[in-house]
Structure 1
Amino acid sequence: MSNLADIQNLDDIRLLVDSFYTKVQQDNLIGPIFNEKIGNQWPAHLERMYRFWQTILLEEHTYSGSPFPPHKHLPVNKEHFNRWMEIFTETIDSLYKGKLAEEAKLRAKNMAEMFFYKIEYFRNGGRNFFES
């Protein structure tokens, strides 16, 4: 039996985000991409991520903006998104259990899939996978 509680407040979001990005920064596959893109701006990035997940999961509207544009030209492929999702899922499952924890994983999965397809779309000059 698990003693894990669900995500409930901003402190839980901070723990999730900090734990996740600590793992990301150290990951051999996606760490170098994140570290190169973010550079010395990690504190600002983490603050944005707190607000992003607070808005999505707690419905406390503290984030505004478009999350996709900074990712548009990253040198990533499906393998990178799979690794990102693997780390995210492992982080959630190690910290939380409940409705919002499951919602976070679903939202992350949907976002990763959308970002991957949009990046591929732009790489292919505005053509999708199904066009020749």
Structure 2
Amino acid sequence: MKDIETRTDLEQLLWAFYTRLLNDPGISYIFTDIAKINLEEHMPSLTDFWELSLFHTGSYKKNPMQIHLDLNAQERLTGEHFSIWLGHFNTTVDSLFTGLNAEKIKTRAESIATVMKIKLYNAQN
């Protein structure tokens, strides 16, 4: 297996990852029923986010925390949701890639999930 090296690699990872998420009833409803995500339309933005996060390139300009705060206002995002999300993310990375960037993206995902959980918890209290 190779490492994550390009935007195309990120697209491959993200399509596989979201396929897993959308097939998991413990979390899929958040994307389909609450956020009503159109993955075809949303994928470029997701790829932009991870391209910026991993490679420090790309054009991502949105505020992911605000997006999740707004989503949390509609459906409380729990620690279990974040655990499912992170589990699928790590499993997907490990099934497709190996190397420094593969490990880096998993670490970034865990950091992002941790910060979001803390901020969402603080917003609720």
Distance 2:54 2:40 in 1: 21
Aligned match of 1:78: 79
- Letter of the 2:38 partner, please give it: Q
AA of the residue aligned to 2:16: S
> Relative contact order: is structure 1 or structure 2 higher (C-alpha 8 Å, sep ≥ 6)?
2
Count of residues in correspondence between the two structures: 121
Cα distance in 2 for partners of 1:79, 1:40 equals: 20
User: Which structure features the higher share of helix residues?
Assistant: 2
CA distance in 2, matches of 1:70, 1:41: 15
Q: In 1, Cα distance between the equivalents of 2:120 and 2:41? A: 24
Q: Closer, same or farther in 2 for the Cα pair 1:92/1:69, shift >3 Å?
A: same
Segments of 5+ residues of structure 1 without an aligned counterpart are 125-132
Deviation of residue 40 (structure 1)? 5.0
Alignment-mate amino acid for residue 26 of structure 1: N
Q: Distance in 2 between matches of 1:40 and 1:122?
A: 24
Alignment of 1:49-128 (within 5 A): 49-72=46-69, 73=72, 74-124=75-125
- Structure 1 residue ranges (4+ consecutive) displaced by more than 3 angstroms after TM superposition: none
Contact 1:33–1:75 (CA<8 Å) still a contact in 2? no
Equivalent-residue separation in structure 2 for 1:10 and 1:62 (angstroms): 12
Q: Distance in 1 between matches of 2:56 and 2:17?
A: 21
* CA RMSD after TM alignment: 1.2
In the other structure, the counterpart of 1:129 is none
TM-score, L = length of structure 1: 0.86
8 Å contact from structure 1 (residues 20, 88) kept in 2: yes
Higher CA-based Rg:
1
TM-score by length of 2: 0.91
Who is 2:11 aligned against?
14
Identity %: 30
